[in-house]
Amino acid sequence: MSAIAEKYLRQRLLPHIWCPGCGHGILLGAILRAIEKVGIDRDKTVMVSGIGCSSRATGYMDFDTLHTTHGRALAFATGIKIARPDLKVVVVTGDGDAAAIGGNHLIHACRRNVDITTVCFNNNVYGMTSGQHSPLTPFGHMATTAPYGNVDHPFDLCDLVAAAGATFVARGTAYHVTQLVDLIALALENKGFSFVEAYSQCPTYYGRRNKLGSAVDMLEWYKKNSVPVKAAATKDPQELKGKIVTGVLKKAPREEFTEEYQRVIDTAMARLKGGRS
């Protein structure tokens, strides 16, 4: 076991519950390496998750950890961060958790720009409930609730959060793990709402049903079909169809909520002192 895993994982809760070949362990490792790289205070860091395969990750991490209700992780995290701006807050969520039931909380977290780092484990499927289509299942793909092929069109989640006001947006995959560590580290360092979409292979419920092969095959697919953001800029949209554009997609700092609110407190307290309330 690596030094990182020994340092940051709750050993007695291992082995984890994820299926053989699942990419979530790789992503969990990437988060921990990014934390090590950035060097944040572990006792002042809270890990928050919703419900789903991804959301079990918080239990394994030796921090203050909160496993919430389905889709609501960002709303719980918002309360933690606003109540205690001195804490670092990281949200681990899945594609169904973040983009379907949690879609409203996601866009408003972006708009509000509270300093929260969100890593979305995108395995294109509802894994915990055994393979229903999610808002990120590609059009035409098979799922237990799309037995004739998915007729729902997926979100481009990074476009969505960028438009909603996230101040740092990036995308990576479980194959490009070194890059992913760097992306999460940058997200952790951004003061404001940061979002990293991380592709994670689900050979059990998504890959098998769509004949995508083994976990290794799916990782190979990520390798072949990923386009770095700089290279993508030179291609036309038709060429990028079905590709995964990776790297930092947006970085546009603006006023962070808790800092703005501190100004509200300072003003309100000064007025009260001055007897003008």
Name the nearest CA neighbour of 127 among 14, 15, 23. 23
Measured from the CB atom, is 86 or 236 closer to other proteins? 86
Minimum CB separation of residue 19 from other proteins in Å reads 18
- In angstroms, give the least distance from the CB of 26 to other proteins: 22
CA distance 226 to 220: 10
3-state secondary structure of 136: coil
E strands present in the chain: 45-49, 64-67, 88-94, 116-122, 125-126, 132-133, 168-173, 194-199, 226-228, 244-251
Is the Cβ of residue 42 or residue 209 nearer to other proteins in the bound state? 42
CB of 2 to other proteins, least distance (A): 20
Rounded to 10 degrees, what is the CA torsion of 172, 121, 196, 236? 50
Q: Shortest Cβ distance from residue 94 to other proteins (Å)?
A: 16
Q: Contact, 195 vs 170, CB < 8 A? A: yes
Residue number with CB closer to other proteins (59 or 149)? 59
Q: For residue 138, is the peptide bond before it cis, meaning its omega torsion is within 30 degrees of 0?
A: no
Select 61 or 183, whichever has its Cβ closest to other proteins: 61
Residues near other proteins (CB under 8 A) are 13, 42-44, 46, 48, 58-59, 62-69, 72, 75-84, 86-87, 104-105, 108, 261, 264-265, 267-269, 271-272, 277
9: Cβ contacts below 8 Å, ≥ 6 apart = 32, 60, 61, 62
106 vs 146, beta carbon nearer other proteins: 106
Please give the span between the terminal C-alpha atoms of the chain, in angstroms, as a whole number: 60
Distance CA 89, CA 74 (A): 10
Burial track 53-67 (b if 16+ CB lie within 10 A, e otherwise): bbbbbbebbebbbbb
Looking at residue 254, its amino acid is R
Closest CB 57 distance from other proteins, rounded Å: 12
Q: Looking at beta carbons only, is 193 or 199 nearer to other proteins?
A: 193
- Pick the closer one to other proteins by CB: 239 or 259: 259
- Structure token digits, residue 89: 């807050």
Please state the closest distance from residue 183 (CB atom) to other proteins, in A.
26
Least separation, in Å, of the C-beta of 188 and other proteins?
A: 17
